[in-house]
């Protein structure tokens, strides 16, 4: 009985975090990619890329358990595609995001230390 309660709490927390992440990252990407925002600041492009990367990673993380329902006798093709998509977004999330944050931070550093000399 205790394990059932723990399972319900874990699933509830996962659903709340997944829905919050999907909605939040989608809204962030929409806001940062608007022409009025991205034309004024190149930092908006970095933040939009991070939001899109997180959104794709979260989508594959949420959809991966459902790959078994897509089977139609194709000998695990859905599982193979889902595993590849999850691996690709997982690796890109851990390699791309630090580089985006580094680029964003470097750009801000140049803007602070050399505001009139460097035009990015």
Residues 48-75 have a mean pLDDT of 76
Q: What is the value of pTM for the model shown?
A: 0.74
Q: How far apart are CA 106 and CA 46, in angstroms?
A: 12
Structure tokens at 54: 């997180």
Q: State yes or no: pLDDT of 67 exceeds 80.
A: no
- In this predicted structure, what is the pLDDT of residue 78? 67
**pLDDT confidence bin for 66, thresholds 50/70/90:** low
119 in helix, strand or coil?
coil
């Amino acid at each position: 009985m205790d394990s059932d309660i723990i399972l319900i709490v874990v699933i509830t927390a996962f659903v709340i975090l997944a829905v919050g992440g999907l909605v939040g990252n989608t809204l962030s990407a929409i806001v940062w990619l608007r022409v009025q925002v991205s034309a004024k600041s190149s930092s908006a492009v970095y933040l939009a890329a991070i939001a899109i990367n997180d959104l794709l990673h979260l989508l594959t993380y949420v959809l991966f358990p459902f790959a078994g329902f897509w089977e139609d006798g194709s000998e695990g093709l859905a599982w193979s595609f889902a595993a590849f998509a999850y691996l690709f977004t997982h690796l890109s999330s851990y390699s791309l995001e630090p580089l985006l944050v580094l680029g964003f931070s470097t750009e801000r550093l140049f803007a602070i230390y050399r505001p009139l000399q460097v035009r990015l």
